[in-house]
């Protein structure tokens, strides 16, 4: 039965939290209501189960946003009370101090009335010899009000219906363009989307993800339903002298493309980046290094401001002869990274596959131990200070 109970505050086991706005629930639910809506905070791992429970209770989810993206009072934080719940909840990093809440656009378009954009381009990013399909898509936003900042995400509602004949639910995608868009006219938004393909273990059949297949195959000129933007976790600080350490796997590069383009490619009177941007990028093969040419060209132009460190797992080996993952690169550069995170103007951002944080913590722990510091305590302080930002999926 759907019977959520109030949770206390979030614990810090590391999962991401999403806040759901639900209407039309039958009243076995003792929750806090606002404008007829009920709000729940649910971990990413439990989304599927939660959605089923809402449907069974006659409810309708009208909005989803990362839990850090709305300032509901703590008493509104609800979690599902299923005893099997092993909710791991994260301390969401506050938005960088210089960003005022009012300046951050959120939920301009909601799932019940999405903005209908148009696909302007859809290009393959994986080169010959690489693994899988990843596409760079750009959508036309003209005629609407959608604005966004680097580090935010948008929702996409795929065409068609699910197996129950209901419209598909939205999926979130990190925005890969700056607020000005790839055409610099403030009228587009771009994404970097990997097509999800996996084998069903029981039937051995190939399964293709609904929304990622819809997007990667979207023809130029096709309409596309967009919601959002959402997210305050991954925003860039306004300080042009900040050090920005970015750790990405695969499509986790999306927000960092937006960061690097804003920091170094675009020219702004009011934001002239002078700090160090250091990208650690983990992929399987060299042809999977997304945006490689553009990144390397920027690195050549700004050798003092941009460092690129790749971890190419199927081609490179770490010092122990194992596959080269991001954590090995973190370990190799531990002393320098440790020096950087001591500085108050250094921000660390992690984006990509769920599970990548463990390796990064290992690498950072090694550096911290050398300096007699407990990494998990130190990391907690970084999170509190809004200098440790994570978005994994
Ligand atoms: C904040 C955020 C940002 C994101 N940004 C991006 C981005 O920039 N680019 C990007 O490509 N994606 C991104 N994603 C992921 C994206 O939202 C979708 O989850 C992804 O595209 C898959 O959606 P789908 O509709 O294709 O798959 P679905 O049809 O929804 O299928 C997904 C389901 O398939 C099952 N599944 C998946 N893999 C396996 C497996 N190996 N074995 C068995 N079952 C499996 C799981 O049940 C999973 O829930 C982001 C997610 C979040 C939360």
Q: How many whole angstroms from 160 Cα to the centroid of ligand 1?
A: 17
Lookup result for tokens 């991401």: 16
Share of the chain above pLDDT 90, in %: 70
Closest residue by Cα to atom 31, ligand 1, is: 209
| φ and ψ of 56, to 5 deg | -65, -25
Q: For strands 388-392 and 33-34, give the pairing.
A: unpaired
Question: Which of 43, 174, 328, 365 is labelled catalytic?
Answer: 174
Q: Is the pLDDT of residue 113 over 80?
A: yes
CA distances from 322 to 63, 160, 318 (A): 43, 44, 5
**In angstroms, rounded to a whole number, what is the distance separating the alpha carbons of residues 168 and 161?**
5
Give the separation between CA 24 and CA 105, rounded to whole angstroms: 27
Residue 336 belongs to what H/E stretch? helix 334-341
Look up 174 and say whether it is catalytic: yes
Q: Yes or no: say if 232 and 106 are a contact pair by the CB < 8 Å rule.
A: yes
Could you tell me the pTM of the whole model? 0.79
Taking a C-beta distance cutoff of 8 angstroms, is the pair 175, 226 a contact? no
Mean pLDDT of all residues in 72-87: 29
Pocket test for ligand 1, best of 18, 195, 196 (most atoms within 8 A of CB): 196
Strands 223-230 and 188-194: unpaired
Spatial CA neighbour of 247 closest among 278, 284, 289: 278
Q: Is the bond into 229 cis (omega within 30 degrees of 0)?
A: yes
What domains lie within the chain, and their CATH numbers?
A: 5-91 (3.30.1490.170), 115-230 (2.40.30.10), 243-392 (3.40.50.80)
- pLDDT higher than threshold 60 for residue 74: no
Residues with Cβ within 6 A of ligand 1? 153, 171-174, 192-194, 196, 198, 209-213, 251, 254, 391, 393
Query: Ligand 1 centroid to 297 CA: how many Å?
Result: 31
* Closest to 16 (Cα-Cα) out of 212, 174, 216: 174
Mutate to test the pocket of ligand 1, among 151, 212, 216 (most ligand atoms within 8 A of CB): 212
Q: Are strands 277-283 and 243-249 parallel, antiparallel or unpaired?
A: parallel
pLDDT in tens, 245-266: 999 999 999 999 999 999 999 9
The rounded Å distance from CA 302 to ligand 1 centre is 35
Percent of all residues in the chain with a pLDDT value above 70, rounded to a whole number: 81
Q: What angle do CA 176, 132, 117 make, to 5 degrees?
A: 40
Cα gap 168→151, rounded to integer Å: 25
CA 67 vs CA 79, 83, 94, 157, 231: distances in Å: 12, 22, 11, 20, 8
Ligand 1: centre distance to CA 353 (Å):
10
Taking only the tens place, the pLDDT of each residue in 17-40 is 677 777 777 644 333 333 466 777
132 CA → ligand 1 middle, Å: 14
Catalytic residue (one of 21, 91, 150, 391): 391
Distance between CA 106 and CA 231 in Å, rounded? 7
Atom of ligand 1 nearest to the CA of 134: 11
Rounded-to-integer distance, Cα 294 and Cα 342, Å: 30
Query: Comparing 291 with 86, which gets the higher pLDDT?
Result: 291
Q: Determine the Cα–Cα distance for residues 380 and 292; give it in Å rounded to an integer.
A: 33
* Residue 188 near residue 120, CB atoms below 8 Å: yes
The arithmetic mean of pLDDT across residues 74-87, rounded, is 29
Distance (Å, whole) CA 139 – CA 271: 26
């Amino acid at each position: 039965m759907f019977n959520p109970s109030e949770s206390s505050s979030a614990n810090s086991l590391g999962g991401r939290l999403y806040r759901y706005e639900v209407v039309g629930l039958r009243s076995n639910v003792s929750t806090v209501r606002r404008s007829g809506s009920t709000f729940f905070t649910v971990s990413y791992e439990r989304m599927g189960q939660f959605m089923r429970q809402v449907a069974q209770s006659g409810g309708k989810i009208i909005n989803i946003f990362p839990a850090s993206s709305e300032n509901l009072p703590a008493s509104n934080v609800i979690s599902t009370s299923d005893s099997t719940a092993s909710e791991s909840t994260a301390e969401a990093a506050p938005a960088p101090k210089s960003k005022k809440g009012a300046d951050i656009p959120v939920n301009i378009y909601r799932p019940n009335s999405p903005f209908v954009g148009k696909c302007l381009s859809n290009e393959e990013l994986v080169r010959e010899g690489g693994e899988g399909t990843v596409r760079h898509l750009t959508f036309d936003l003209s005629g609407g009000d959608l604005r966004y900042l680097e580090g935010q995400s948008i929702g996409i509602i795929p065409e068609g219906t699910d197996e129950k004949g209901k419209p598909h639910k939205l999926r979130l995608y990190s925005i890969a363009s700056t607020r000005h868009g790839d055409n610099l006219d403030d009228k587009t938004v771009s994404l970097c989307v990997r097509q999800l393909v996996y084998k069903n273990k029981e039937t051995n059949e190939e399964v293709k993800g609904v929304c990622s297949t819809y997007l990667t195959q979207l023809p130029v000129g096709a309409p596309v339903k967009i919601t959002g933007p959402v997210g305050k976790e991954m925003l860039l600080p306004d300080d042009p002298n900040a050090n920005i350490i970015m750790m990405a796997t695969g499509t986790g590069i999306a927000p960092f493309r937006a960061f690097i383009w804003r920091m170094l490619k675009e020219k702004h009177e009011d934001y002239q980046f002078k700090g160090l941007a250091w990208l650690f990028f983990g992929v399987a093969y060299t042809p999977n290094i997304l945006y490689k040419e553009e990144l390397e060209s920027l690195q050549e132009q700004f050798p003092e401001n941009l460092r690129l460190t790749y971890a190419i797992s199927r081609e490179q080996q770490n010092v122990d002869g194992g596959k080269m993952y991001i954590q090995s690169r973190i370990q190799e550069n531990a002393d320098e990274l440790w020096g950087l995170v001591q500085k108050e103007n250094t921000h660390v951002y992690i984006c990509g596959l769920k599970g990548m944080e463990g390796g990064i913590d290992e690498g950072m722990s090694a550096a911290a131990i050398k300096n007699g510091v407990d990494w998990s305590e130190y990391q907690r302080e970084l999170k509190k200070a809004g200098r440790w930002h994570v978005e994994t999926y």
